[in-house]
Amino acid sequence: MNAPVLTRRHFTGGLGALVVAFSLDPNAALAQERLPGSLQNNRKLDGWIRIDPDGTATIFTGKVELGQGILTALAQIAAEEMDLPLARVRMISGDTRQTPNEGQTAGSQSVENSGTALRMACAEARAILIDLAAQRFGVPADQMRVADGVVSTPDGRKIGYGELKPDLNREATAKATPKPPASHKIVGKSIARFDIPAKVTGGLAFVQDMRPVGMLHGRVIRPPRYGSKLDSADDTAAKAIPGVVAVVRDGSFLGVIAEREEQAIKAREALRKSAKWTLGPELPDPARIFEVIKSLPSKDATIGVKQGAMPSNARTFEAVYTKPYMSHGSIGPSCSVAEFKDGRMTVWTHSQGVFPLRTELVKVLKMPAAAIRCVHVEGSGCYGHNGADDVAADAALLARAMPGRPVRLQWMRDDEFGWEPYGPAMVMQAKAALGGDGKIADWQYEVWSNSHSTRPESTDGTNVLAGWYLAEPQKMGPPTSPPQPAGGGDRNAIPLYDFPNQRVVHHFVQDMPIRVSALRTLGAYANVFALESFMDELAAAAGADPIAFRLAHLKDPRARAVIEAVAKKAGWKGGEKGDGTRGRGIGFAKYKNLACYVAVVAEVEIRHGRPPCSPRGRAPRPRTGSPARDSRPSARAGRTRAVTPMRSLPASDPSPRPGFPLAGARLPCGGTRAR
Amino acid sequence: MAINLKVNGVPRSVTAEPDTPLLYVLRNDFELNGAKYGCGLSQCGACTVLIDGQAVRSCVTPISALEKSEIMTIEGLGSIDKPHVLQQAFIEEQAAQCGYCTNGMIMSAKELLDRNPRPSEPDVRAALASNLCRCGTHNRIIRAVLRAAQANGRT
């Protein structure tokens, strides 16, 4: 292990850690000089760094570990700029009492924002340490050398960071120059992640593993469907189960607390049987879901318009692609531990944003923010907005009923599949005209989608589930769509290909028949799937090789380079054809249309009579390429799907199950795309 | 009622209903974090432990059935300081994203290597086919198991 990251001390809330006030009103920051990354809204150096007397550095970040390795990456950045070995950097992350507020850990922006802030803040802290040592020894600062947290003079006098006791309670200036990449010793190296050893040995690794003294176990009883009202809940049977200590009801929110976990689960079943509900509105017919989405009111925006000459001899093509609702499908259902003690609420949570979560808890619990502390502890992978925030609110509501006793609440599998926000279903309709020269002369594209972000910290109402079901309910926050160029449902809807005529329409559908929010890349992968599939259709119609066809429509040199690189790596032969069960294909995108370029070649084999994603089916062999000039980390293929989850209209879903989607998520596989 | 179990070679006793799933006793009474609740339905494999050498889903296995059995959890394999060859291989291959499924992957792999010390890649795929990973770490996991098998062969 490189550094201790998750320890008991971390779990019990930083015992012995100095608490420093550093936050600044973001509005006040507007009048100040713009600082890089998350320094802009968290401007005090000691908000990011503390030098402990033993010479170690404690680094505070508002970004949290989701299994992406961010705490290891940020520790590398800090250690590099501080000239400290990694083992002497300690990370504290996502704690409303201790760390900067960096909003959500989402959108692949943690290195960009937190890493930038830490790089600049640590470079400045190092410069301050050097100045202090220079003053002490009476030697010019530019003659001092630093290694492993020790500053030394040319004649060999040395002093450690801990002895220098720097005062970092000051505004960052971002004037210190960080190290040039060429001199990096830790950044740029593949460092083993800090969190993995505990995860492979049964260590304390997840919020699910917390076990504070006196802990009770909670469970919640959710309605049969959205928007239902609880008329009555006879708790006689539940309370007769040994170990049950409380049944908690607030309006239509219903939960139970027991001494033992299996007792809480049995009591949940008993309450589920006795609860009487007035049912909310019926869900739309899953067989017609895409028609329903297209028929709902939408805010429409036309983007990416180009107008040029149209050839007279063009042939036109049309295709519709669809993406079903998709569960995040976290392997571990969401979990939280909450404790209400002396009028204060502490919530241990795997939320992606502890500060936004606290904002919602203020509304749900009707408690002041100062009395609520949210502390991040890892959970199962989330891939976006799953039940993490909701279960934290549930746990807090239960804990409030049992002051002084921590309550651990892990959702059951059906809670997660039934109630987490899904990745939205989408419809993508593409039309194109192919000129006599074999090139695309016109591209018309429309996408229908719900919001891809209903995360906490809503501007109105609340975005945690329990809030909507209380005796004094909050309304759901308004759906939002991030603007272009990053976009939401329209993310990556504007092609990077050069077409003389082009029109892209984003139908932002406001009503949400199914609760939805952020799932990996928002609308991008449905749009890229549609765009790239339609490119293949058009290449086939033009009798062209799919790679050559793409290159013929691309001027962007980096886009061309990544496609050429992947073709070379894969040994792509122009005009190669599959044999009916086996073949290869290419996909290309630029992440969010503003970050790294990615291309992938996938080899796919379909065995008759067996689902292509069966564990026994043969795996595709993906190859990725990134152009040599690309200075970003090599674009990882991520998961290459042999068969994508998209379906084309008219969709012929073979077996829409009753109760969809509450009966559980169907992991997407086996969809076919045909016009 | 008190039920006697043998976990990682150590006799343990727990007072719980006989139908209590082993998973909750391991986690809450014996404070063993390795086995994880994923589905409670024997579908995902996150709760896998070895019972008399067989990979078993602890979320659906009642403790009353286990009084004569040897139960092994991932904590019984090794520790951070003295990792088992499989644990070491998972660290070396960095074979985890979130790591929530890792317990089940390692325990299923342990059963495989015990009966087949030099498995082929298809053997590993088959042995892990019913352990789910949602992060997409499959290729690294397979490499880790093959690495552990190779390390076994050298000792």
**A330 close contact with B: CB closer than 8 A:** yes
Burial of A231 (0-12, 13-18, 19+ CB in 10 A): exposed
Chain B residues with beta carbon closer than 8 angstroms to that of A615: 125-126, 128-130
Contact across the interface for A208 and B36, Cβ inside 8 Å: yes
Q: Letter for the amino acid at B138?
A: H
CA distances from A539 to A438, A534, A546, A552, A581 (A): 8, 8, 6, 11, 20
pLDDT in tens, A339-363: 999 999 999 999 999 999 999 999 9
**A617 close contact with B: CB closer than 8 A:** no
**Closest Cβ opposite residue A211 in set B31, B40, B128:** B31
Contact across the interface for B24 and A261, Cβ inside 8 Å: yes
| Phi-psi map region of B45: left, alpha, beta (phi>0 left; psi -120 to 50 alpha) | left
Contact across the interface for A68 and B97, Cβ inside 8 Å: yes
For residue A312, what pLDDT is reported? Answer: 87
**Could you say which residues of chain B have pLDDT below 70?**
154-155
The answer to whether the beta carbons of residues B103 and B36 sit under 8 Å apart is yes
Contact across the interface for B99 and A200, Cβ inside 8 Å: yes
Q: Which CATH number fits domain B2-76: 3.40.640.10, 3.40.50.150, 3.50.50.60, 3.10.20.30?
A: 3.10.20.30
B85-92 and B138-154 helices, crossing angle to 10°: 130
For residue A580, what pLDDT is reported? Answer: 86
Contact across the interface for B78 and A615, Cβ inside 8 Å: no
Confidence of residue A614 (pLDDT cuts 50, 70, 90): very low
Distance from CA of A449 to the nearest CA of B (A): 24
Spatial neighbors of A609 by CB under 8 A, at least 6 apart, are none
Contact across the interface for A331 and B129, Cβ inside 8 Å: no
Q: A400 pLDDT exceeds 50? A: yes
**Whole-angstrom distance, CA of residue A95 vs CA of residue A431:** 49
Distance from CA of A30 to the nearest CA of B (A): 37
| Phi-psi map region of A290: left, alpha, beta (phi>0 left; psi -120 to 50 alpha) | alpha
**Whole-angstrom distance, CA of residue A625 vs CA of residue A41:** 37
Distance from CA of B154 to the nearest CA of A (A): 22
Spatial neighbors of A98 by CB under 8 A, at least 6 apart, are A14, A17, A19, A20, A60, A92
The answer to whether the beta carbons of residues A419 and A387 sit under 8 Å apart is yes
User: Which candidate in A199, A327, A376, A519 is best for mutational testing of the B interface (most B CBs within 10 A)?
Assistant: A199
List, as one string, the DSSP characters of A195-263: THHHHHHT-S-SGGG---TT-EEEEEE--SSTT-EEEEE--HHHHHSTTEEEEEEETTEEEEEESSHHH
Mean pLDDT of A202-224: 98
The answer to whether the beta carbons of residues A215 and A408 sit under 8 Å apart is yes
Q: A604 pLDDT exceeds 60? A: yes
Confidence of residue A630 (pLDDT cuts 50, 70, 90): very low
Which sign does the torsion angle of CA A436, A439, A442, A444 carry? positive
The answer to whether the beta carbons of residues A83 and A148 sit under 8 Å apart is yes
pLDDT in tens, A486-531: 999 999 999 999 999 999 999 999 999 999 999 999 999 999 999 9
Mean pLDDT of A142-160: 97
Q: A656 pLDDT exceeds 60? A: no
Q: Count Cα atoms within 13 angstroms, Cβ side, for A184.
A: 14
What percent of chain A is predicted at pLDDT more than 70? Answer: 85
Could you tell me whether strands A298-306 and A315-323 are parallel, antiparallel, or unpaired per DSSP bridges?
Answer: unpaired
Q: What is the 3-state secondary structure (H, E, C) of A529-553?
A: HHHHHHHHHHHHHHCCCHHHHHHHC
The answer to whether the beta carbons of residues A314 and A441 sit under 8 Å apart is yes
Distance from CA of B65 to the nearest CA of A (A): 17
* 3-state SS assignment for residue B16: coil
Contact across the interface for A200 and B83, Cβ inside 8 Å: yes
CA angle A389, A392, A398 (to 5 degrees): 150
Distance from CA of A576 to the nearest CA of B (A): 27
For residue A588, what pLDDT is reported? Answer: 98
Mean pLDDT of A289-307: 97
For residue A14, what pLDDT is reported? Answer: 34
Number of Cβ within 10 Å of residue A18's Cβ equals 10
The residues spanned by each domain of chain B are 2-76, 85-154
Q: A613 pLDDT exceeds 70? A: no
The answer to whether the beta carbons of residues B56 and B97 sit under 8 Å apart is no
Distance from CA of B42 to the nearest CA of A (A): 11
Q: Mean pLDDT over all residues of chain A?
A: 88
**Of B76, B17, B80, B84, the residue nearest B48 (C-alpha):** B76
Chain B residues with beta carbon closer than 8 angstroms to that of A611: none
Closest chain A residue to B98 measured between Cα atoms?
Answer: A67
Looking only at Cα atoms, what is the longest distance across chain B?
47
**Whole-angstrom distance, CA of residue A72 vs CA of residue B44:** 28
Q: A414 pLDDT exceeds 50? A: yes
Q: Which two tokens stand for residue A598?
A: 């990615």
Q: A675 pLDDT exceeds 90? A: no
User: Which candidate in B3, B29, B32, B37 is best for mutational testing of the A interface (most A CBs within 10 A)?
Assistant: B37
pLDDT in tens, A532-553: 999 999 999 999 999 999 999 9
For residue A660, what pLDDT is reported? Answer: 27
Mean pLDDT of A648-653: 32
Q: A193 pLDDT exceeds 60? A: yes
pLDDT in tens, A91-130: 999 999 999 999 999 999 999 999 999 999 999 999 999 9
Closest chain B residue to A328 measured between Cα atoms?
Answer: B134
Contact across the interface for A202 and B78, Cβ inside 8 Å: no
Confidence of residue A232 (pLDDT cuts 50, 70, 90): very high
* 3-state SS assignment for residue A428: strand
The answer to whether the beta carbons of residues B88 and B152 sit under 8 Å apart is no
For A8-95, strand residue ranges (E) read 49-51, 57-61, 89-93
Could you tell me whether strands A229-233 and A275-278 are parallel, antiparallel, or unpaired per DSSP bridges?
Answer: antiparallel
Q: Which CATH architecture has domain B85-154?
A: Orthogonal Bundle (1.10)
Q: Which two tokens stand for residue A335?
A: 């979990």
Closest chain A residue to B29 measured between Cα atoms?
Answer: A260
Mean pLDDT of A629-644: 29
CA distances from A426 to A448, A449, A451, A481, A539 (A): 6, 5, 10, 14, 24
**Whole-angstrom distance, CA of residue B48 vs CA of residue B74:** 9
Instruction: Look at the pTM and tell me if it is higher than 0.95.
Output: no
For residue B155, what pLDDT is reported? Answer: 55
Could you tell me whether strands A582-590 and B54-57 are parallel, antiparallel, or unpaired per DSSP bridges?
Answer: unpaired
In the 8-state DSSP scheme, what is residue A332?
S
**Closest Cβ opposite residue B83 in set A192, A201, A261:** A201
* 3-state SS assignment for residue A95: strand
In DSSP terms, A218 is beta-bridged to A257, A409
Q: Which two tokens stand for residue A40?
A: 């802009």
Confidence of residue A28 (pLDDT cuts 50, 70, 90): low
**Closest Cβ opposite residue B78 in set A201, A260, A262:** A201
Tell me how far the alpha carbon of residue A249 is from its chain's centroid.
Answer: 32
Burial of A239 (0-12, 13-18, 19+ CB in 10 A): middle
